[in-house]
Chain A
């Protein structure tokens, strides 16, 4: 039997909006737990391989912060690089977003960083 399902109450329209909503709920929960009246700054760490576009995230942030205590908050984003070390030849390098071959020997490499996506700190009052 085919069960038809309507939108589940999910109203995100792109994945950065969904990420921005999750980020905002993390920020608001932690602000409330610390009796904050206002959120002044939200600091994020976003890895270059996390699949999140920083520009799109900023755009989405402006949409989700309205009518919250983060309305006037600054969004500070620290981007982390895709650090890699080649298992074949030991060469250490920063992987490009689209290129995962060791520049020294050509072996495929899995970066050890760059997938980060978390709220690092909040400034509140």
Chain B
């Protein structure tokens, strides 16, 4: 005799619970958590190197690097002067999950003002997993073309800010940064926008000022 039971339970509830534990842990030190997402090769790590170079002497920054394999990115960011860096290798998974952040934080020092998480390079899956972050940032490079915001709207809609990178290459790829920004704002008009050429350092100061000004979000009950 079969019977039906009603559940109504969120499938990613375990991730959400782990994300809540991450928030709980970091609220004690008022650590602002920024989750940076983009496709592969948009320039997340280069932007992060330049960011750490500018901010490391002024505020206490920790970085969590997510990649499928290698610790190249963690070494780059460490060389740029980050106080604390952890590399997570997901071993094939296409995104970071809150449980991974929780475990990475086991070795974290107290008193971080800013924790930047560089997600796995992927424009789809990272947007679906809450990491306990306060702010989500999507990075788009002009070399990816104009159509990405509308092809991958989920990530753009979940983000608070957009960094358009490689603007120095715009003339060579025939993509106008302004047009890319317009496409992105049609998907999410609330995005705070930055234009950068991270390899040259252009626009990075403004981005860093914004990062340094961010406040921790209150924990929702």
Contacts and interface: CB of A to CB of B under 8 A. Distances in A.
B9 interface: yes
B48 interface: no
Contact of B71 (A2, A40, A123): A2
Interface residues of B, number: 51
A4 B87 contact: yes
B157 interface: yes
Nearest to B127: A51
Given A4-B87, A108-B188, A117-B10, A22 B15 contact: yes
A71 interface: no
B14 A22 contact: yes
Interface string B2-16: 111111111111110
B208 interface: no
Mostly, the B contact residues are mixed
B8 A120 contact: yes
Contacts, number: 139
A26 B7 contact: yes
Contacts of B175: none
Give the size range of A's interface with the partner.
35 or more
Interface in A20-78: 22-23, 25-26, 30, 34, 40-41, 44, 49-52
Contacts of A2: 71, 74-75, 78, 85-87
Contacts of B104: 5
A17 B151 CA distance: 22
Interface string A1-22: 1111111101111110011001
11 contacts: A2-B71, A4-B71, A8-B103, A10-B91, A10-B97, A15-B94, A15-B124, A98-B150, A117-B10, A118-B9, A123-B2
